Amino acid sequence: MQATFEINKTSRNLLLQFLENHSLENLNKIPEGFSNNLIWNIGHIVVVQQMLVYKLSGLPMMISDEMVEKYKKGTKPEHNISQEEVNEIKKLLFSTLEQAKEDFANDIFDNYMEFTTGVGFTVKSAKSAMEFNNYHEGLHTGIMMQIKKFI
């Protein structure tokens, strides 16, 4: 799991650069031809990790139901988000990762509800959920790199 967490931390540090190097206006901008923006992608990444690892393990998530409804699969930005919301997402980028690392070290993941992803991969455990999550974050980071070219 150490490599999985190292990859995830690298991913989160890259996402942090998007937050720190773009204005609130640019984080909220949806370029022509896209259905979402930079901040939606980052919020989505946080939500999906929590749902894949914790919700499907039957454990409480570190995020609110409101956040899930705003950033889960199938949603898109409905309005611009505030700097306060950006700050909360920024905090969650690392607090969720650190908590997951601690929870895996404490072996709290006893049960898991298998889930087949949209790309056809069946996630069978919290461990494989963290591994698949790195793939998912990579996909959205690529989308964000494309969005960045148009803002």
Listed by start position, the domains of the chain span 2-148
Question: Quick one: DSSP state of residue 125?
Answer: S
Taking the C-alpha atoms of residue 67 and residue 107, their distance in angstroms, rounded to an integer, is 26
Let me know if domain 2-148 sits in CATH 1.20.120.450.
Answer: yes
- Residue 75: the pLDDT is 97
pLDDT of residue 79: 95
Structure confidence at residue 88 (pLDDT)? 97
Model confidence over 80-102: pLDDT tens digits?
999 999 999 999 999 999 999 99
pLDDT in tens, the chain (151 residues): 999 999 999 999 999 999 999 999 999 999 999 999 999 999 999 999 999 999 999 999 999 999 999 999 999 999 999 999 999 999 999 999 999 999 999 999 999 999 999 999 999 999 999 999 999 999 999 999 999 999 9
From CA 17, how far away is CA 145, in angstroms rounded?
12
Q: Which pLDDT score, from 0 to 100, does residue 59 have? A: 98
The neighbour count for residue 87, using CB atoms within 10 Å, is 11
pLDDT digits (tens, 9 = 90+) for 37-54: 999 999 999 999 999 999
- Give the list of residues 6+ apart from residue 126 with CB closer than 8 angstroms, or none: 53, 56, 57, 104, 109, 112
The whole-model pTM stands at 0.96
What was the pLDDT predicted at 115? 93
Residue 145, amino acid: M
Q: How far apart (Å, rounded) are the C-alpha atoms in residues 102 and 109?
A: 11
What does 21-84 look like in DSSP terms, one character per residue?
Answer: HS-HHHHH---TT-S--HHHHHHHHHHHHHHHHTGGGT---SS-HHHHHHHSTT----SPPPHH
Rounded to 5 degrees, what angle do the CA atoms 94, 97, 102 make? 125
